[in-house]
Structure formats: structure tokens, C-alpha cells
Amino acid sequence: METSSSGQPIWKRALLKLSGESLAGDKGFGIDPQVVAYLANEVAQVHQAGVEVAVVVGGGNIVRGGAFAQNGMNQAAADQMGMLATLINSLALQDAIEHLGIDTRVQSALTIQSVAEPFIRRRAIRHLEKGRIVILAAGIGNPYFTTDTAAALRAVELGAGALLKGTNVDGVYDRDPNVYPDAVKYESLSYHDALTKKLRVMDLTAFTLCMERDMEIVVFDIREAGNAKRVVMGAPIGTRVKNL
């Protein structure tokens, strides 16, 4: 990954994808206020570095639609519950960011006017241009699509320079590092190599969209304080996926 020699971020605009599970912390379920405050600070640091930042948050800490569907629930209903869970997480993150003094807007792909704006691409871009952080909730508003796909789509729609995927591992490995101590981390990957090696960077729909639109993906460990800012400043951390 190139490092900015000017002390400026390497992207003007970026989309940060956070899993719902990241908001639960060690609790594994629900929302841990201390963890949300930590994540808000990570997002704020990216914003303060001069990057226009949008955020997509999952809902797996509250509802995992896939798990519900596997236990007999209608897939569409389960996914709609998951979309509502992302809205709860988005409101929690908005509150924590605004406690840091940064204007924030939640836009939802589901129409819930009393708590969030509807997602309108031009309005979201205008918020970003005005220095506001935009949190994008409810996926793409349709069942059968993951929040990974929502993140990829919104990154493309908003003209982001990169999709930053904050995870609980420090990059993409050739196999599960939690199972295999000798797993090898990739510093960079082409889309083609990631596909042929069957590396699960994102779900296939999201990954294909990024590949077709040449949307750079950076996978990094969000649990290490300051990592989100280091990524946008070009520090050599995580794994970078792009056309090589």
C-alpha cells in the first residue's frame, strides 16, 4: 500500500464497513456502549484527517437473518428483521459520533421518517461535501442481500475511493489464522487471485461489484486503536484488494 508522502489522506472519500458484531464487543450480543464510543472515535479520526466518510453497519449483534432463515423463518422476513437491526446500530453509532461534536446523518434504505432520512444518493453526497458523516442503514432495502453488498453498492454510488472493511482480523489470509497458526497474510491481492484462491474477502455479490467497478477494498483490524486513520493515510496495514 502506498504511503502518503504529503501527510494527506490517499482518498478524498471512503466508505467504512463495520460488522454488527463489532458493536457487541466481548458480550457477543447487543450493544456495548464503550465499544460504540470506541468505534465512533475511530470514525471521527478518519473524518478529522480530511476524508469524507460514509459508514455501513451490519446487524448481526441483534439479528442474523441467515440464521433465522435456517431455522424455518421465511428468508425475506428474516432479512427484513436484520435490516431493522442495522438501523438500531446506526442510531447508536450516530449518537456516539455526535457526542464528539461531529454532525452526522443516518440514511435508511427502508422508509422510517421519524428516525432517519431516506437514502437519496445526491443528498448523501451533499452531506459528505458539507463535512457530515453519513451512516447508511437497512442494507439496500431488499431481502436476500448482505450488508457487504450494501457497502459495495453505496461505495460505488457515492464515488468513494475505497471500501474499508474493519474486521476482527488484520487482513486476508490464505486460510483461517484462528485455526492454522502458520496461515500467511496477503499484503495485497488482485481481484482475480482472491477469486481463484477462494478467499472470502466479502460475499461474492459484493466482491463482484467491487471488481467490475474497480472499487479498491482494504481489509484491516478495526480493534487496534487508530487503524482506521492509518489506513486512509496509506500505512501498510491490512490487505489491499485491487487491480494489480
Structural domains in the chain plus CATH codes: 13-142+157-239 (3.40.1160.10)
3-state SS, residue 88: helix
Question: What are 92's three cell numbers?
Answer: 447508536
Question: Above pLDDT 90, what percent of the chain?
Answer: 87
Exposed/middle/buried for residue 72 (C-beta within 10 Å: 0-12, 13-18, 19+): exposed
pLDDT tens, position by position, 94-138: 999 999 999 999 999 999 999 999 999 999 999 999 999 999 999
3-state SS, residue 221: strand
pLDDT at 183 over 50: yes
Residue 6 pLDDT grade (very low, low, confident, very high; cuts 50, 70, 90): low
Nearest CA to 225 out of 7, 37, 31, 11 is that of 37
